[in-house]
Amino acid sequence: MAIIKRSLLGKFSGSAGDMVFCIRNGKRYFRSKPSPRDPNKPKSRKTKDNESGFAYTSSFTKEISENKYLKFIWKNSDLFGENYYGRIFSANRSKTPSTGLTPNNIISPPNIYMKTNALIWDDDYFSLEYSFDSNPEKVFTLPYQAVSIVYLYDPRNPKKDTAFDFLSFEELISEQFNHKPNTVTFKFTDENKKLLSEFKKGIIYISFIANYPDPQNILWTSTDAVEINLLQ
């Protein structure tokens, strides 16, 4: 059973199996428990991979469940699971290898298909141009909420622990402009910029939600993901 302890200051620590979670210098980490092991019974590669994949999935699930829009659509989805947290975890566990999250992970349950056509990444913001699989005037009408979670990591991190973190963004889209149809822009805060400078790569996950918080008419899109290289 995973036990995650969260303080009033928003920090968390705890363990899941043989993995320990903590926050150090503002970054999220997980590592193996430093407990003695029987040298005659070393862990198999499969066991180690399962533990790492579990830890990444747990952290991602926690990040998704803290967003009120994403939490609402997972609660109102018909996916298997006793609660929204279990649904998020189950949907992502099989998609998460031991090396971390991939573009196959999702922040929203499968629904209306949406894809990202273009990405602009600047010093102060990033913009995504997107399209739906059907006429948005008939299916996905304005206004709707854009939600994005950016997973940050450094594949060349020399530390034994695996460092990673997340940025979350929300933007209400109430109108579209002829010169920039189906485009959403998320602006960086100074805190965002500082965190971004500490990582080398990332994955942008995005989804759109309409008719919140009406459980009878809630609409959302499937997740689309775009990989980014922060070294460029």
Tens-digit pLDDT profile for residues 200-230: 899 999 999 999 999 999 999 999 999 999 8
**Greater confidence, 160 or 202?**
202
Q: Which residue do the tokens 């600047």 mark?
A: 122
Which is it for the CA torsion 186, 227, 26, 51, positive or negative? positive
Per-residue pLDDT band for 177 (boundaries 50, 70, 90) equals confident
Rounded Cα gap, residues 167 and 103, in angstroms: 16
Q: Is the pLDDT of residue 7 over 80?
A: no
Mean pLDDT to the nearest integer, 101-109: 97
Q: Strand, coil or helix: what is 93? A: helix
Per-residue pLDDT, 203: 97
Burial 58-83 (b: 16+ CB within 10 A, else e): bbbbbbbbebebbebbbebbeeeeee
Comparison of pLDDT for 131 and 158, the residue scoring more:
131
User: Is the separation of the CB atoms in 43 and 129 below 8 Å?
Assistant: no
Considering the chain, what is the average pLDDT of its residues?
Answer: 82
CA distance 122 to 112: 29
Contact between 143 and 212 under an 8 Å Cβ cutoff? The reply is no
What per-residue confidence (pLDDT) applies to 42?
53
pLDDT tens digit sequence for 16-66: 555 666 666 666 666 665 555 555 555 544 444 567 899 999 999 999 999
